[in-house]
A and B are shown apart, each in its own frame.
Chain A
């Protein structure tokens, strides 16, 4: 096992990608994710990899589509406005079932917004973003260590499910420095996917096609149900199956009366809030979804039986709160507190909200 090193979140993703066997990066500059392409522009040539600064995010994601079609472990990264541009390609990639890793270091929106950290791309990330009946596996790290670990897991998941995987980060996580233990490198063989273009193993079929067009309505319906079934398998694996524990972190939930819910950087603040609540005699707990799609609905179904209320905290006007409401399904009240536009809520603000809910007088 490698030693601990101090790294920025964005750089940790880059190094972890290399360790995961990714040798291809295609991207377009945008703040606040620039450290990642900068790192890979330097690092990839050292391992005979390819770094291409594309002419646009649209071109970058289509280069990813091509490289993924050819069997490579490939990635791109961007921030909110750039991710919007990439959605056309993501839809094609999902339709053609091409594995790849996407990174969105989220900034304030809509439109050009600003370059401060935000969580306002949750809907885009978890609802597809592009057109058509498809899903993207969405991972939400809350530390530099997890940015590295989830990058490696992301490539594994992408290959296992033949699906795009999105790492949803934000400006804080991307920029902050923390010690990180990097895992051992993975040996990845480009010529290992039988379906890939240019695959030349002895067991190759007639010819390979990577495509998302099914002009015949029956064929497209069959394809869409095939995708749906794959998404169901993923949902099961992340709720009751082998990735059950990967999908969510629970903190002091067993006896909690109020459950605070947040992902990414917010969860770090919520942990402090929970400690402060406990010191003041408030039985608070925290749920942190680490996977945003498939959503850890099962945890909320269980906690809705024991807790009396939920408070969802986000750096948006309220997006994930909808999934919590769907999961709790009216059994207990679900409240929301958010700051937006690039503002990060303080522990005091959140504590104040908890106080209002727990001690309404």
Chain B
């Protein structure tokens, strides 16, 4: 019998600790598939954030640094400057990247560090138990916005892709999601583009994945992608905001 589906070589055999219906596992797998396809596993270095994916290094079968909250792009800068031939990426959530680590991500992007950033935006702090994130929707009820996010006191959801696309240096900025098979394939292509650009030394690439958090959204896994589609995508429209190398046309 022919084997048509197996674990990517870039993944370890460790079972995911993620909640049922959480998108992290699928996104991890897509990254691993891309690393395999680009044949860069032996010189890839990941940087794990603080958040639900703090243990990302358990699941990827290559070198990893575990960074402080929000600091992954600075750590990745240090690693990449020392080992410019390596493939270096950060994997960060919305609290990590869009709140405490805003300075680090903006400036790593602005310096045009030749790294790849995977930004998983599920509009909530997962690991700490469901607090309001900078990307939480207006009216969204969380542990720290029990009456719903109020723009008057908590501002509006931050659009990181759009902000980063305003900078000169980044070569590729895109927002994707995995709410359907078609979109999942698009997400994989976006990740492939982002890592390929790094492999070719083209510069800073940023892939935002709009994702679920069934546990802290208080939704069934099956309802979460529906909620994401109906509520998150109107606020965080999918699309490519910057593609200076024309990778999507290639």
Residues of A within 8 A of B (CB): 24, 26, 50, 52, 54-56, 58-60, 62-72, 74, 88-89, 92, 96, 190, 197-200, 207-213
Least Cβ–Cβ distance between B40 and chain A, in angstroms: 12
Residues of B within 8 A of A (CB): 42-43, 45, 47-48, 54-55, 57, 61-68, 71, 74-83, 86, 103-104, 106-107, 111
Contact A67 B81 (CB under 8 A): yes
Complex CA distance for A83 and B76, rounded to whole angstroms: 21
**Inter-chain pairs besides A63-B77, A197-B45, 5 sampled, C-beta below 8 Å:** A24-B81, A62-B71, A65-B68, A74-B82, A210-B65
Contact B86 A198 (CB under 8 A): yes
Cβ–Cβ < 8 Å partners of B47 in chain A:
66
Our pick among B42, B78, B107 for the contact of A68 (Cβ within 8 Å) is B78
Least Cβ–Cβ distance between B166 and chain A, in angstroms: 17
Interface of A is mostly: mixed
Cβ–Cβ < 8 Å partners of B79 in chain A:
66-67, 69-70, 197-198
Complex CA distance for A129 and B80, rounded to whole angstroms: 28
Contact A66 B78 (CB under 8 A): yes
Cβ–Cβ < 8 Å partners of B82 in chain A:
24, 50, 66-67, 70-72, 74, 190, 198
Our pick among A55, A96, A197 for the contact of B107 (Cβ within 8 Å) is A55
Contact A198 B43 (CB under 8 A): yes
Complex CA distance for A216 and B86, rounded to whole angstroms: 31
Known contacts A62-B67, A209-B64; is A56 also within 8 Å of B103 by CB? yes
- Chain B residue with the shortest CB-CB distance to A211: B66
Complex CA distance for A60 and B80, rounded to whole angstroms: 14
Interface of B is mostly: helix
Cβ–Cβ < 8 Å partners of B80 in chain A:
66
Cβ–Cβ < 8 Å partners of A62 in chain B:
67-68, 71, 74-75, 78, 104
Known contacts A63-B77, A67-B78; is A210 also within 8 Å of B66 by CB? yes
Complex CA distance for A207 and B76, rounded to whole angstroms: 17
Contact B61 A66 (CB under 8 A): no
Our pick among B45, B57, B104 for the contact of A55 (Cβ within 8 Å) is B104
- Chain A residue with the shortest CB-CB distance to B110: A55
Known contacts A70-B45, A89-B71, A198-B83; is A24 also within 8 Å of B64 by CB? no
Complex CA distance for A72 and B77, rounded to whole angstroms: 13
Known contacts A89-B68, A92-B68, A210-B65; is A66 also within 8 Å of B103 by CB? no
Complex CA distance for A167 and B81, rounded to whole angstroms: 24
- Of the candidates A24, A55, A56, A62, the one having the most CB atoms from chain B within 10 angstroms of its own CB is A62
Contact B103 A70 (CB under 8 A): no
- Of the candidates B47, B76, B82, B111, the one having the most CB atoms from chain A within 10 angstroms of its own CB is B82
Our pick among A70, A92, A96, A213 for the contact of B78 (Cβ within 8 Å) is A70
Cβ–Cβ < 8 Å partners of B81 in chain A:
24, 50, 52, 63, 66-67
Cβ–Cβ < 8 Å partners of A197 in chain B:
45, 63-65, 79, 83, 86
Cβ–Cβ < 8 Å partners of B76 in chain A:
66
Contact A65 B65 (CB under 8 A): yes
- Chain B residue with the shortest CB-CB distance to A66: B78
Complex CA distance for A68 and B81, rounded to whole angstroms: 11
Least Cβ–Cβ distance between A160 and chain B, in angstroms: 20
Known contacts A62-B75, A66-B78; is A207 also within 8 Å of B103 by CB? no
